[in-house]
Amino acid sequence: MAVLDALPGPYAFDPATTALIVIDMQRDFMEPGGFGETLGNDVSQLRRTIEPTARLLAACRAAGLMILHTREGHLPDLSDCPPAKLNRGDPSLRIGAPGPMGRILIRGEHGHGIIDELAPAPGEPVIDKPGKGAFYATGLGDLLTAKGIRSLVVTGVTTEVCVHTTVREANDRGYECLVLADCVGSYFPEFQATGLRMIAAQGGIFGWVASSPAFIAALH
């Protein structure tokens, strides 16, 4: 077992049963003209996560960890997008509307793709998800079970939306989740800080929080 200092206390993991899951590092959230910006957000807030996540990916690949990526998005006919999600905001800027990077949050469009800096390597599964959580309506649970994964290291965007939802889903399914603070980002600095505090509060109510350098050091 490897162990590192985390909040609220030490996080122990076996690299052989640990997977890194990189959540929704898509142009639609990270770059101007995408879904994130149409919701009124300042996408520049997220970009500080890119370099540490690239270093983390390199270290996890070198250590032979299982690595997965997720993408939030919908089928071109929007049949997998419930009205509760679709009918938000200005109709000309909604999911499926044309934008500078293609139709907003639609699978196959340029904006739906993962940013070049963090492109998945050959063989790394990419989970397409219609919801905020990575388990809902995807094959993620079965894939992790098949590989014997018990611990999840979680990064990506946004901290209080898709990262939180996925960590909560994973915790309920029995996974021990470590969230890396420098590799998750929010459009709102106050949500970033509070979102991380919420995970580790109450004795680690649904996970642990540490930095990526601390995790990389524990891998060696």
- What residues line the site for ligand TIU (CB under 6 A)? 24, 29, 39, 72, 132, 157-158, 161-162
Q: Catalytic: which of 81, 128, 129, 183?
A: 129
Smaller CB distance to ligand TIU: residue 17 or 80? 80
Is residue 129 annotated as a catalytic residue, yes or no?
yes
Phi and psi torsions of 36, nearest 5°? -60, -45
Least distance in angstroms from the C-beta of 179 to ligand TIU: 13
Find out whether 15 and 160 touch, Cβ atoms under 8 Å: no
Is residue 24 annotated as a catalytic residue, yes or no?
yes
User: 129-149 burial by CB neighbour count: b if 16+ within 10 A, else e?
Assistant: bbbbbbbeebebeeebeeeeb
> What is the spatial distance between Cα 139 and Cα 134, in angstroms, rounded to a whole number?
9
Smaller CB distance to ligand TIU: residue 130 or 219? 130
Least distance in angstroms from the C-beta of 106 to ligand TIU: 14
Least distance in angstroms from the C-beta of 185 to ligand TIU: 9
Least distance in angstroms from the C-beta of 95 to ligand TIU: 10
> What is the spatial distance between Cα 61 and Cα 23, in angstroms, rounded to a whole number?
17
Smaller CB distance to ligand TIU: residue 59 or 163? 163
Find out whether 63 and 16 touch, Cβ atoms under 8 Å: no
Smaller CB distance to ligand TIU: residue 59 or 67? 67
Smaller CB distance to ligand TIU: residue 52 or 133? 133
Is residue 81 annotated as a catalytic residue, yes or no?
no
> What is the spatial distance between Cα 176 and Cα 171, in angstroms, rounded to a whole number?
6
Least distance in angstroms from the C-beta of 29 to ligand TIU: 6
> From residue 115, how far is each of 51, 130, 151, 166, 195 by CA, in Å?
12, 19, 26, 20, 24
> What is the spatial distance between Cα 131 and Cα 177, in angstroms, rounded to a whole number?
19
- Nearest position to ligand TIU, beta carbon: 162
Q: Catalytic: which of 28, 81, 132, 162?
A: 162
Phi and psi torsions of 10, nearest 5°? -55, 140
Q: Evaluate the omega torsion of the peptide bond into residue 194 and state whether it is cis, within 30 degrees of 0.
A: no
Q: Which residues are catalytic?
A: 24, 129, 162
